[in-house]
Amino acid sequence: MQNFQGVGVSPGRVIGTIRQMPKPVSEPPSGELLAASTTAEEAVAGLKAAAQSVHDELKARADKASGDGKAVLEATALMAKDTMLLKSAIKLINNGSSAERAIWEAGASVSEMLHNLGGYMAERATDVLDVRARIVAELRGVPAPGIPASDSPFILVAEDLAPADTATLDPAVVTALVTSGGGPQSHTAIIARSLGLPAVVAARGVDEIPDGTEVFVDGAAGTLSLEPTEEHRTAALAWVANAATLAVFDGNGTTADGHLVPLLANVGGAKDAAAAAALGAQGVGLFRTEFCFLERDTEPTVLEQAAAYRGVFDAFPGKKVVLRTLDAGADKPLPFLTDATEPNPALGVRGYRTDFTTPGVLGRQLEAIAIAADETEAEVWVMAPMISTAAEAARFASMCDAAGIKTPGVMVEVPSAALTSASVLRHVGFASLGTNDLTQYAMAADRQLGPLAELNTPWQPAVLRLVQLTVAGSAEEGSGKPIGVCGEAAADPALAVVLVGLGVSTLSMTARSLAAVGTVLKTVTLEQAQELARLALSAPDALDAKAWVRAKLPILEELGL
Amino acid sequence: MPERTATIASRSGLHARPAAIFAEAAGESPVEVTIAMAGSPADDALDAASILSLMTLGAAKGDVVVLRAEGDGADAALDSLVTLLETDLDAE
């Protein structure tokens, strides 16, 4: 039996056969000419045949799809044999270009034309590029890019997933995710947790496993095993039973001795918010407003924004909704706010800092939030991302005050804000720890990089120490201002216990994790949580911190978490 | 050359689903059909069977377009395509 060890990022134990995600289609070299042995007529015929078969495959998928997905697939299928696209490619072939290069260039110019038209057309520009990649793959005789289409369930193995892959990832077909790259905070991890799929990242060597191999994946232990044993089969069956109980959160986050820790949800829009409310979330601890506008080239109007925010607020009448102002930059560029040419975007103009370079956008967003907050029964709190100093916190608070927002706060993700939290908190009403970025900055390790996965975990004692210092700063400030956690750390049931022990007052996570965190939290008293926090802080490294705490929480192993 | 004018009836204009339905129908007609915005030169007319051409045309609801075709069955083909454009395809 061969094992692959990675980092477990979303619990669950499953057995299944794997499918490899094809590598992205590479660009045919610029200036690539027709092979001497091929005539232009033959190349044109080959291109037409490839286009037709891409069309037929997309059309077949459209016939099986429904709703918006069907409409998009139908339109994409037609693009594959579109006369405009093919005629301009054929012209290039007749001028001596290879078929691959010809369709590549034709696709690029059509896509640019659509992009320049803006709005809905600009959104379709990526569909043209997808079609182009599919035709090139067909010409080369390699599998089409993207998540493989399949009727039968499989375990998806990839190098890493991009946010765009979420749209085509069907959780009814894909039963687990395993990547050779990525880290615990990578997009793969975030996608897996939001879909409730078991996932292992940074498992070196898994990209060599042939399609169709049967494997056992343990998303808590972070392992993939070839040739599953009887024990594995029993574990997978037990997980199915546990998953049913772990799917329901009773809406009451508390320790065994009744210390209340509201469990909130991280959401990106109205749809997420409604789903989170249905899963028992006690409010929203992180509303990522940029997710409403990620595809936009231009700034949404105040009224458009207000309507989008209102959609989330309305899902939680009488409950707290913590909204984060636009967190553009680094891995989430917004063309109207960010400079894509920065050499070091994670340390660049991102989050609150975009107000230095593009003033006005933040002020208008606060105006929109105030409008939406006025019309709803939700208790709206507003925080700025990437605050580094007390002066920035003070300025943000005065901007909120001017817009009529009652409860301003800050994200603590830059270590300087954690270290000076007492002075930062004097100006605002609350703070929320963004552990993903806090870890990346404390450890100086890019969160998307697989080779740094071991550094990039919030179990690092240095990160836990920053959490402790932030809480201590609130005590020093003296008016009991709450410190929450809204990073992926809160979704790890063992780490959630440690965070509560460190004095964190609320935990916000992907709604899928609420039940697991709630179940484990109920098994410890506040005093036990504090003891586990001390234990984790005293560990020499992240691996020990995690192992020591997990050893004291036997319920985790029992539930397969 | 036979030609017809038609007023776009679909709410989203000639994009997305309506464009796909129309392009498919134009592709199935026995003659080659072109489409242009009313008032623009016939030389600028685009292939009506090309969904990408239709999208770059950018016709919105209420815009008037001109369809042209030549050959056997051109009149019948144009008539049925006009009917399609003047139906709100988003409503279906």
Is residue A499 within 8 Å of residue A489, measured between CB atoms? Answer: yes
Highest mean pLDDT among A298-312, A407-421, A505-519, B34-48: A407-421
Q: Percent of chain B scored above 70 by pLDDT?
A: 98
Segment A274-332, tens digit of pLDDT: 999 999 999 999 999 988 887 777 889 999 999 999 999 999 999 999 999 999 876 67
Residue of B7, B12, B15, B31 marked catalytic: B15
Closest CA to A217 of A516, A12, A19: A12
Amino acid at position A78, single letter: L
Amino acid at position A111, single letter: S
CATH of domain A40-140: 1.10.274.10
B30 close to A (CB below 8 A): no
Q: What are the residues facing A522 on neighbouring strands?
A: none
Tell me, what DSSP letter sits at residue A208?
G
- Whole-number pLDDT of residue A377: 95
Residue A36 phi/psi, 5-degree rounding, is: -60, -30
Is residue A156 within 8 Å of residue A147, measured between CB atoms? Answer: yes
CA angle B13, A335, A192 (to 5 degrees): 90
pLDDT > 70? residue A166: no
Inter-axis angle of helices A461-477 and A435-442, nearest 10: 120
pLDDT > 90? residue A14: yes
Between chains, do A85 and B52 touch, taking CB under 8 Å as contact?
Answer: yes
Q: How confident is the model at residue A102 (pLDDT cuts 50, 70, 90)?
A: very high
Average of per-residue pLDDT values in chain A: 91
**Distance separating alpha carbons of residues A265 and A322, to the nearest angstrom:** 10
- Which among A52, A74, A82 is the top mutation candidate for probing chain B, defined by the most B β-carbons within 10 Å of its own β-carbon? A82
Is residue A451 within 8 Å of residue A423, measured between CB atoms? Answer: no
Q: Which range among A455-464, A488-497, B13-22 shows the weakest confidence by mean pLDDT?
A: B13-22
| Residue B12 with chain A: CB contacts under 8 Å | 120
Q: How confident is the model at residue A1 (pLDDT cuts 50, 70, 90)?
A: low
- Whole-number pLDDT of residue A163: 65
Q: What are the residues facing A514 on neighbouring strands?
A: none
DSSP string covering A433-466? E-HHHHHHHHTT--TT-GGGTTTS-TTSHHHHHH
Question: Domain A263-559 falls in which CATH fold?
Answer: TIM Barrel (3.20.20)
Is residue A281 within 8 Å of residue A263, measured between CB atoms? Answer: yes
DSSP string covering A325-388? P---BTTB--TTT--TT-S-GGGSS-GGGHHHHSTTHHHHHHHHHHHHHHTSSSEEEEEESS--
Point out the residues of A that are catalytic: 187, 486
Q: How confident is the model at residue A259 (pLDDT cuts 50, 70, 90)?
A: very high
Q: Which range among A20-34, A102-116, A292-306 shows the weakest confidence by mean pLDDT?
A: A292-306
pLDDT > 80? residue A119: no
| Residue B24 with chain A: CB contacts under 8 Å | 78
Residue of A nearest to B56 (CA): A114
3-state helix, strand, coil split of chain B in percent (to 5) is: 40, 20, 40
Between chains, do B15 and A84 touch, taking CB under 8 Å as contact?
Answer: no
Residue range A540-560: mean pLDDT, rounded: 92
Q: What are the residues facing A18 on neighbouring strands?
A: A155
- Whole-number pLDDT of residue A264: 97
Strand intervals (E) in A241-337: 263-267, 283-288, 320-324
**Distance separating alpha carbons of residues A373 and A307, to the nearest angstrom:** 10
- Give SS3 for B72: coil
Domain B3-91 CATH superfamily: HPr-like (3.30.1340.10)
B28 close to A (CB below 8 A): no
Q: How confident is the model at residue A458 (pLDDT cuts 50, 70, 90)?
A: very high
Closest CA to A337 of A399, A378, A272, A385: A385
Q: In sequence order, what are the residues at sequence separation of 6 or more whose Cβ sits closer than 8 angstroms to the Cβ of residue A257?
A: A525, A526, A527
Q: Which range among A115-119, A189-193, B59-63 shows the weakest confidence by mean pLDDT?
A: A115-119
Instruction: For chain A, give the number of residues.
Output: 561
**Distance separating alpha carbons of residues A312 and B87, to the nearest angstrom:** 35
List residues of chain A with CB under 8 Å from any CB of chain B: 71, 74-75, 78-79, 82-85, 110, 113-114, 117, 120-121, 124, 128
Segment A222-232, tens digit of pLDDT: 999 999 999 99
Inter-axis angle of helices A40-64 and A83-94, nearest 10: 160
Between chains, do B17 and A74 touch, taking CB under 8 Å as contact?
Answer: yes
Inter-axis angle of helices A526-537 and A493-501, nearest 10: 100
Is residue A467 within 8 Å of residue A442, measured between CB atoms? Answer: no
Residues 33-72 of B with CB under 8 A from A: 46-47, 49-53, 55-56, 58
Distance of CA B71 to the CA centre of its chain: 17
pLDDT > 70? residue A164: no
Q: In sequence order, what are the residues at sequence separation of 6 or more whose Cβ sits closer than 8 angstroms to the Cβ of residue A493?
A: A513, A516, A517, A519, A520, A521, A553, A556, A561
Report the complex ipTM. 0.88
Between chains, do A78 and B47 touch, taking CB under 8 Å as contact?
Answer: no
How many CB atoms neighbour CB A121 within 10 A?
18
Largest CA distance in chain A: 81
Between chains, do A128 and B52 touch, taking CB under 8 Å as contact?
Answer: yes
Residue A501, burial from CB neighbour count under 10 angstroms (0-12, 13-18, 19+): buried
| A71, A75, A84: residue with CB nearest B53 | A84
Residue range A495-522: mean pLDDT, rounded: 95
Q: How confident is the model at residue B92 (pLDDT cuts 50, 70, 90)?
A: low
Q: Percent of chain A scored above 90 by pLDDT?
A: 70
Domain A3-21+147-245 has CATH 3.30.1280.10: no
Segment A167-180, tens digit of pLDDT: 678 888 999 999 99
Alpha helices in chain B (DSSP H): 16-28, 51-57, 74-85
How many CB atoms neighbour CB A422 within 10 A?
18
Amino acid at position A510, single letter: T
CATH 1.10.274.10 domain range(s) in chain A: 40-140
CATH 3.50.30.10 domain range(s) in chain A: 3-21+147-245
Amino acid at position A102, single letter: A
Is residue A86 within 8 Å of residue A100, measured between CB atoms? Answer: no
**Owner of token pair 């049913």:** A244
Q: In sequence order, what are the residues at sequence separation of 6 or more whose Cβ sits closer than 8 angstroms to the Cβ of residue B63?
A: B7, B8, B13, B14, B37, B38
Residue of B nearest to A85 (CA): B52
Residue A278, burial from CB neighbour count under 10 angstroms (0-12, 13-18, 19+): exposed
Q: Percent of chain A scored above 70 by pLDDT?
A: 98
- Give SS3 for A231: helix
- Give SS3 for A33: strand
* Domain ranges across chain B: 3-91
Residue range A158-162: mean pLDDT, rounded: 83
- Whole-number pLDDT of residue A124: 80
Distance from CA of B54 to the nearest CA of A (A): 10
**Owner of token pair 């103009």:** A349
Highest mean pLDDT among A192-201, A393-402, B58-67: A393-402
**Owner of token pair 């008016």:** A479
Between chains, do B47 and A85 touch, taking CB under 8 Å as contact?
Answer: no
Tokens of A307: 């309507």
Is residue A367 within 8 Å of residue A331, measured between CB atoms? Answer: no
**More confident: B18 or A414:** A414
| A71, A78, A110: residue with CB nearest B24 | A78
